[in-house]
Every structure is written in structure tokens, then in C-alpha cells.
Amino acid sequence: MAIELYNDGKHVCLMFNDLVDDSASSAVQANQFLIVSDGEGALIDPAGNMTYNALIMAVSKFFPFKQLKYIFASHQDPDIVASLNKWLMSTDASLYVSTLWERFVPHFCTLNRWEGRIVGIPDPGMKIPMRDTDIHCVPAHFLHAEGNFQFYDSKAKILFSGDMGASLVAHDEILRPITTAAEFQAHLPRMEGFHKRYMVSNKPCRYWARMVRTMDVEQLVPQHGRYFKEAIAAFLDWIEHLHCGIDLITQDHYRLPQ
């Protein structure tokens, strides 16, 4: 199912939430995103090989996929961009990814297909104009990858936040956004364990939350699970106080297994 996050007739943001078989023993649910701005197309975090065919079919209902111009990858994980080789074969798109991963993601590829088509995003980020919007590559380093970007669509006022804000739910639980602080509290058990392990420490969470508060964000949309509207403030209040990752590590985590 395509969830329409924004549509003003000229600029459209879509989320695909059900392209991965996320039944109990299978792969983790993941969201993929299509932005079409006045006839120009971009994918955000298109995921891996198991999703490629379904995503082609889903995208084609809205945009001729061969004409995609941009692929944005928040980081280098398999659920983000393991399908890179196929997208480079079937389109003329360029991949934008952190300079830290620029020379690692070609390991997903064959036949030198990546040459001249991978753009490294520098640590401070960058702004990429699409026709009716700007896509801001927003620093989110160590949340969770060492070089990590989120993508802010300034027209739609959507922050595509990668693994930040992710929850582990089945795809059919992602029918609508989280809109109240009470609903956020009820949702917390689906997020807490993930953030405690996959986010590196409290420090980048705190700096990131402060940055997001200065931005005009109407929807915060992670790459797994449910997305946020009015409950964004509740999420920021929670994450900036969360102790996670290396904050929780002790010597007990480093002992020779017997």
C-alpha cells in the first residue's frame, strides 16, 4: 500500500510500508519513500534485493522509474541500499550517501556500474534542489551509523529520519501517524529496545533533538515502523534524555564466552 504523506498536486511524497515479508521469522519491516516534484523523481532508502521488484511495481504506479534522478541513502545498511546494483542498472540515477560510505557501497555493485554515480555527502550535509523543493541532507551521525544523514523535504516539511524514531511493528500497524503524547507513550515499548541498542549514545541524540527543534518539521518519518505528526515534541523530549548504546556498556559485556 502506498501511504500518501504529502500531495499538493505538483509535489508528492509517498511511503511504501508493506513490500517486505515481515512475518515472524523473516526480515524486519522497512519503509521506502518516493518523492516526485514537478516531474522529477527521487527514492529514499530503497532497501535491499528482496524489495526491489515490488518497489519497481509500486513506484511505477506513480512515476516512470527509469527516469529516477536521485537515490538518497541515510547510511550503508542492507535494509537501506543493498539493492543499489539493480537500481544503477535500471536507471540513470545517482546515489547520495555519506562520504564515509562512498567507497564501501560499491561492494554491493558489479561491472563498475557505480563509477561517477555515487556522490559523497560531506559531514556538515548539503542541499539538493529538486524542482519544487529542496532536499536537505541533515547530519545525524552516530544515529546510528558513524556517517548518517536524514533527508528533509522543505516543501512537504517532512524529515525522513532513517533509523531514528524507528519501531519494530508489523506493516499493517502503520496505517496512520502517532499524533498525541499519550499515543506516543503507548508506542514506546516498540521503540525503546531498538534505540537503546542501535543508537550510539545520549550525546548525539541530544544534539540532534536540539537541531530538529530549530527546524519546521510537520512529519517525522522513520525507515521502520510508525511515523509521527503532532507527537514529534514528545519523541524529542524522550530521545534527548535516553541513555543508550555505549552509555549502557560495562565490563560485563566484554568477557570471553565459555
Q: Please give the grid coordinates belonging to residue 209.
A: 533533538
Select the span of 62-70, 83-91, 106-114, 222-230 touching Fe ion (CB under 5 A).
222-230
Residue 102 makes contact with Fe ion by CB under 5 A: no
Rank residues 41 and 162 by Cβ distance to Fe ion and give the closer one.
162
**Site pattern 223..242 for Fe ion (x: CB under 5 A):** x-------------------
- Give yes or no for a contact between 75 and 145, defined as CB atoms under 8 angstroms apart: yes
Q: Which is nearer to Fe ion, 79 or 153 (CB)?
A: 79
* Piece in contact with Fe ion (CB under 5 A), picked from 32-40, 124-132, 157-165, 175-183: 157-165
- The distance of closest approach from Cβ of residue 180 to Fe ion in the complex, given in angstroms and rounded to an integer, is 26
CB of 77 or CB of 153, closer to Fe ion? 77
Interface with Fe ion, residue 77, by CB under 5 A: yes
132 binds Fe ion (CB under 5 A): no
Contacts 24+ apart (CB under 8 A), 21-30: 21/50, 22/170, 22/171, 27/79, 28/79, 28/168, 28/224, 29/168, 29/169, 29/170, 29/171, 29/174, 29/224, 29/225, 30/79, 30/223, 30/224
Q: Contact at 8 Å (CB) between 45 and 223?
A: yes
Tell me: does residue 22 bind Fe ion (CB under 5 A): no
Least spacing, CB of residue 152 vs Fe ion, in Å: 18
Cis peptide before 75 (omega within 30 of 0): no
Q: Within 13 Å and on the Cβ side, how many CA atoms surround 185?
A: 3
Q: Are 187 and 193 in contact (CB under 8 A)?
A: no
Total residues interacting with Fe ion, rule: CB under 5 A: 4
Of the candidates 29, 42, 70, 79, which one interacts with Fe ion according to CB under 5 A? Answer: 79
Of the pair 132, 163, the CB lying nearest Fe ion is at 163
The CB-of-223 to Fe ion minimum distance in angstroms stands at: 5
Q: Where are the alpha helices (DSSP H) in 61-107?
A: 78-81, 84-90
Question: Which residues here bind Fe ion, judged by CB under 5 A?
Answer: 77, 79, 163, 223
